[in-house]
Chain A
Amino acid sequence: MKTLLNLSVAALILAGGVYLYADDDHEEGEHHRSSVVAKPLSKQDQVSAALYKKECSSCHMAYQPSLLPKRSWDKTMNTLDNHFGTDATLDPSDHKTIQNYLASYASKNDRLVDMKGAVALRISETPYFVRKHREVTKKMVTQPQVKSFANCNACHTKAESGSYREREISIPNYGRWED
Chain B
Amino acid sequence: MKYLALALLFSTSLMAASPEVVQYMKELESVAKTENRTFNGFDAVRGKEIFTSTHTGKQGKPMACTSCHSLNLANPGKNSLTGKVIDPLSPRANPQRLTSAKEVKKWLKRNFMDVYAREGTAQEKGDVLTYIMKN
Q: B-contacting residues of A (Cβ < 8 Å)?
A: 58-60, 81-82, 84-91, 144, 147, 150-151
Show 9 A/B contacts (Cβ-Cβ < 8 Å), sorted by A. Answer: A58-B84, A60-B82, A85-B58, A86-B81, A87-B113, A87-B114, A89-B109, A91-B102, A150-B82
Residue of B59, B83, B109 with highest tally of chain A CB at under 10 A: B83
Is the CB–CB distance between A85 and B59 below 8 Å? yes
Specify the chain A residue showing the minimal Cβ separation from B119: A87
Q: Give 1 or 0 for each of B84-102: 1 = CB within 8 Å of chain A CB.
A: 1000000000000000001
Asked if A59 contacts B106 (CB within 8 A), the reply is: no
Distance of B46 from chain A, by nearest CB (Å): 23
Bound complex: CA of A88 vs CA of B110, how far in Å? 6
Chain B residues with Cβ below 8 Å from A88 are: 110
Chain B residue contacts of A147, Cβ below 8 A? 82-83
| A2 to B: closest C-beta gap in Å | 12
Select from chain B the residue with minimum beta-carbon distance to A3.
B96
User: By the criterion CB–CB under 8 Å, are B79 and A59 in contact?
Assistant: yes
Question: Residue A87 contacts which of B82, B83, B84, B110 (CB distance < 8 angstroms)?
Answer: B110
Q: A87-B110, A87-B114 are in contact. Are A151 and B81 (CB under 8 A)?
A: no
Contact A59 B58 (CB under 8 A): no
Instruction: Please indicate the chain B residues that have their CB under 8 angstroms from the CB of A82 in the complex.
Output: 58
Tell me the number of A-to-B contacts counted with CB atoms below 8 Å: 36
Given that A91-B102, A91-B106 are contacting pairs, would A86 and B114 also be in contact in the complex, using a CB cutoff of 8 Å?
A: yes
B111 to A, closest residue via Cβ: A87
Q: Which residue of B lies closest to A81 (CB)?
A: B113
Contacts of A86 in B (CB 8 A): 58, 81, 110, 114
Least distance between B132 CB and chain A CB atoms (Å): 17
User: Which of A81, A85, A90, A150 contacts B106, CB < 8 Å?
Assistant: A90
The answer to whether B58 touches A87, judged by C-beta atoms less than 8 angstroms apart, is yes
Q: A60 CA to B83 CA in the complex, in Å? A: 8
Complex: A82 Cα to B109 Cα, angstroms: 13
Instruction: Report chain A residues within 8 Å CB of B79.
Output: 59
Cα(A49)–Cα(B70), bound, Å: 31
Q: What's the least CB distance linking B134 to chain A, in Å?
A: 24
Q: In this complex, what residue of B is CB-closest to A85?
A: B59
Cα–Cα distance between A88 and B111 once the two chains are bound (Å):
9
For A90, the chain B residues whose CB sits under 8 A away are 106
Given A86-B81, A151-B82: 13 more A-B contacts, CB < 8 Å: A60-B82, A82-B58, A85-B58, A86-B58, A86-B110, A87-B58, A87-B109, A87-B110, A89-B109, A91-B106, A147-B82, A150-B82, A151-B83
Indicate with 1 or 0, residue by residue over B19-62, a CB within 8 angstroms of chain A CB atoms: 00000000000000000000000000000000000000011000
